[in-house]
Structure 1
């Protein structure tokens, strides 16, 4: 049974932003794992066919680690401040 969100999901909701970022990270890890393992499998069969597999791994892995550092250490999921109220009178008089 899929999880249910108790309210309408919006990007302004800090809990929803956190969940969305973690799900996107999980998809990123899954794509890295699938593509990388496939490339290394074919590299093992014939190293001349995919000689650039190490470059792909060494380029993609720091991006993945950077994504993890941002999500788990840097990202601020506190509530977003409300936009300032706009005064309808340009002179500031009520």
Structure 2
């Protein structure tokens, strides 16, 4: 069942931004898992020597780690001021 939001979704709402960022991170993790498992599966299936697979996985894991640290530790979800 998808998450339900009790009020109209608005990126200016700090709670909604926090939930949206975490769902976005979860989607990135799922895409990483699906893509990398496919890459490694075909690498092992064909017995190919693909040295780039290690680099792709390493760089992608690093980017996910940075994204996760930002979302869970550094992001400031204070109320955004809409004054001009």
TM-score normalized by the length of structure 1: 0.80
List alignment gaps of at least 5 residues for structure 2: none
Query: Highest Rg: 1 or 2?
Result: 1
TM-score normalized by the length of structure 2: 0.89
Q: Structure 1: how far apart are the matches of 2:2 and 2:21?
A: 18
Equivalent residue for 2:57? 57
Q: Stretches of 4+ moved more than 6 A in 1?
A: none
Aligned residues: 84
Q: Structure 1: how far apart are the matches of 2:68 and 2:36?
A: 18
Which has the higher relative contact order, 1 or 2, with Cα contacts under 8 A spaced 6 or more apart? 2
Give the number of the structure whose residues are more often helix, by fraction. Answer: 2
Q: Does 1:8 align with 2:43?
A: no
List alignment gaps of at least 5 residues for structure 1: 85-94
